[in-house]
Amino acid sequence: MRKILVTNALPYANGPIHMGHLLGYIQADIWVRAMRAMGHDVTYVCADDAHGTAIMLRAEANRISPEEQIAGVQKEHERDFAGFGISFDHYDSTHSDTNQARASEIYLKNRDAGNIAVRPVSQLFDPEKKMFLSDRFIKGTCPKCEAEDQYGDSCEVCGTTYNATELVNPRSTLSGATPIEKSSDHYFFKLPNYEKYLQQWTRDEGRLPVSIANKLDEWFEAGLADWDISRDAPYFGFEIPDAKDKYFYVWVDAPIGYMASFENYIKTKRPDLNFNDYWQKDSQNEVYHFIGKDIVYFHALFWPAMLDGAGYRTPTGLFVNGFLTVNGQKMSKSRGTFIKAETYLAHLNPEYLRYYFASKLSDKVEDSDLNLDDFIQKVNSDLVGKVVNIASRCAKFINKNFNDTLSADCAEPELVQSFVDAGEKIAKSYEAREFSTAIRQIMALADKANQYIDEKKPWAFAKVEGNEQQVHDICSVGINLFRQLAIYLAPVLPSLAKEVQSFLKLETFDFASRTKILTQYEIATFKPLMQRVDKKAVDAMVDGSKDSLASPTPTPQKAAKKVKPTPPPATADETIHIDDLTKVDLRVAKVLAVNTVEGSDKLLQFTVDLGEDQPRNIFSGIRSHYAPEDLQDKLVIVVANLAPRKMRFGISNGMILSAGGEKGVFILSPDSGAQPGDKVS
């Protein structure tokens, strides 16, 4: 029996759980349930990520304390997770005494080991709110195109990126005041101290998906930089030891929350467990983090470095899931496809979604699409039409004609045994997180069971007197086959599994229990187990989701400057001539690498091949529309003769062309066959 600790990425305590979140939590829960069904000792913990400026400001806007704010959100999160059958052993908050003590300990051990540096950092400061401002809390006029109401890191009109101090007429979005430039000491974790260690760690077998390890190589090639781990007061979080008015950046104590949640679980519910058995350096127990691909950087670089620096073990592995789209597009409030967990639960059975996600998920770091038409068809066809239908067709004969009791002998021992034997491959698929493979294997068995019943036609035998034994035997075999399918689906459909376990009067429902064939066995009266998905309910869910995530934002204490109206379409006086166009050198480029940019939530950093001696570096503000891995090796069109722009992140030497509209932003690409350096005309 393996001893395993599993955690999920911590949801931020500043908003509701939605479908995009649930993809990762359902994936982890299915794996946990499957591993438990195989007989392993699995502990599953999580917590709300409860710190940061955003939570402080939301509480202020709601006129409550941050503690009240996070407590209310945590109740909602726990309610929604329970609604979807997420089986956490313990759900905590990063705002706990245990987490503060553990975070301080890890920091001090790293400080004593020489992994902490202190140096001044210059930032914009709001003189009215008395706080330093991140880029998203600063707006002003773009220094390039003079567009007004632009954020502090890039212009949404012309695409220029800049330092917030370069904005013309900057203002704080929190108070409306004009910010001033001010310096303060910041604390840094010396990540370069662990460069060689992390290069090896990320390549250890089974530690990370290969595609993620390959992506991380780009960070090593660029050279790791010190990580700013402090924020100035006012800030909702934990104060750094021996550093007055300096607070841990939220990403310091968030992953430590995994340890603290486990520690609090031991204190409150499982005193038989030992914290050090899982977290000490030489521990042979396993620790796995299920996370989204957008937070790999923190979990695969900062987290193991901090742990090692403090003398703790590092995770056995990181299991990474992609993003979720709905109907092939980014989730949208206006289209009603940005669906809250609460809204879904008001209209549909949560096990429908668990099954659909399972049918899509694998161990690959791939995005998943929730196609609502396919969702309806797959659930109705597979679960209702194939699996539940077996019990419905057979149980009525057992209940009505044979005193609720299965036949004394199994009429098809080889067929039933083949279903039992199939459990070995299905279990391996679950363990490897190849859920879609497991679902295909289970549905192949369901097809086989239905084929058996269709060929034997118990309903036809039942019409002829004297065929009672054949009917009894056929339906008893059918119930045994259904039982096997329900056991295999139990990690995905825990509520259905409980109902089946009750219907079959079984004490255990784990994988090992499948080996005993049910003969001369009494079952309960069959009751309908699952209803078909009603398209009207899906439509009602979509309608109920339109603009459902709109939330209040802090009200500025000063009125912001008025934004100029959008300029009208070009008039005849604003037209350009062919000579103007010929000045623009458009060329085909191949994307060699794409990285997110630390310190910016909008920028991606491209390395592109333009057919020149050296690749070019280009920044583009499309991070909210594309994941970096989706752009690898893509052909794009670049303005090759644009003057280089110096930004705080580096030099951008060109512009990648894209088109935008109501449905999003789309990179322009040439047809296949184009080569880097080809001129676009």
Task: Give the closest residue to 43 by CA, choosing from 282, 318, 261.
Answer: 261
The pLDDT assigned to 465 comes to 85
CA 129 to CA 173: how far, in whole Å? Answer: 11
Would you identify the CATH topology of the domain 367-515? Isoleucyl-tRNA Synthetase; Domain 1 (1.10.730)
Average of per-residue pLDDT across 609-620: 82
Beta bridge partners of 618: 606
CATH 2.40.50.140 location in the chain: 572-680
Report yes or no: 539 and 348 within 8 Å, Cβ to Cβ: no
pLDDT band at 430 (very low <50, low <70, confident <90, very high): very high
155 is in an annotated binding site: yes
User: Of 228 and 653, which is predicted with more confidence?
Assistant: 228
Q: What is the pLDDT of residues 21-71, one digit of tens each?
A: 999 999 999 999 999 999 999 999 999 999 999 899 889 888 999 999 999
Q: State how far the Cα of 544 lies from the Cα of 538, in Å rounded to an integer.
A: 10
Architecture (CATH level 2) of domain 572-680: Beta Barrel (2.40)
Does 158 belong to an annotated binding site? yes
Class of domain 116-189: mainly beta
Give the HSE-up count for residue 120: Cα atoms under 13 Å, Cβ half-sphere.
5
E strands, 52-208, where?
A: 90-93, 116-126, 131-132, 138-141, 150-151, 168-172, 180-189
pLDDT of residue 472: 97
The boundaries of every CATH 1.10.730.10 domain in the chain are 367-515
CA distances (Å), 515 to each of 92, 287, 311, 658, 680, in order?
38, 30, 45, 58, 66
Name the architecture of domain 3-113+190-322: 3-Layer(aba) Sandwich (3.40)
Q: Which residue has the higher pLDDT, 185 or 551?
A: 185
- Residue 433 region by backbone torsions, left for phi larger than 0, else alpha for psi between -120 and 50, else beta: left
**What percent of the chain stands above pLDDT 70?**
93
| Beta carbons of 283 and 175 less than 8 angstroms apart | no
Render the burial of 308-320: b for 16+ CB within 10 Å, e for the rest: bbbebbbbbbbbb
145 is known to lie in a ligand binding site: yes
Res. 553: pLDDT tops 60: no
Task: Supply the pLDDT for residue 306.
Answer: 98
Give the burial class of 555: count Cβ atoms within 10 A of its Cβ; 0-12 exposed, 13-18 middle, 19 or more buried: exposed
pLDDT on residue 662 = 54
- Characterize 343-360 residue by residue with b for buried, 16 or more Cβ atoms within 10 angstroms of its Cβ, and e for exposed: bbbebbbbbbbbbbbbbb
Helix locations, 170-249, DSSP H: 195-201, 210-222
